[in-house]
Amino acid sequence: MILITVTVVLIALFLIIVGCFLFAIAILLGNIADNLDDCLDNTKKIVEHAEVVLSGLGRINQTSGLVVKALPALIEVAENVPKDRFAMRPTPRSTVDQSRRRDESGGGYPHRR
């Protein structure tokens, strides 16, 4: 009699554990379904944006083809530009505004306390 009772209790415990496991899996699958729904919405938005671009894609390809053809000429012109024309020159310290320096230091004001 005790053996039958223990067996029934173990079977009931097993069914409870399996039920909890299936409930947890159902929650995870629900989350996955929500994420897939969000992905579907995002994909539809991407398709809508792509449809706007597709109408001008021929023009974009034509323009990029022109730029690619012009690149060698642009590179040649850029290599022939004198380098010293665009060189960064340091600013001499004498050109710094002297009144600004006095303002920052707090000196030079007649109302100084």
Any idea where the domains of the chain sit in the sequence? 7-69
* pLDDT above 90: residue 90: no
- Spell out the alpha helix ranges (H) of the chain: 2-54, 57-80, 98-105
The residue that leads in pLDDT, 30 or 104, is 30
* pLDDT above 90: residue 77: no
pLDDT, tens only, 36-63: 999 999 999 999 998 888 888 888 888 8
Longest dimension (CA), the chain: 109
Q: What percent of the chain has pLDDT over 70?
A: 73
Max mean pLDDT among 28-32, 57-61, 84-88, 108-112 falls in 28-32
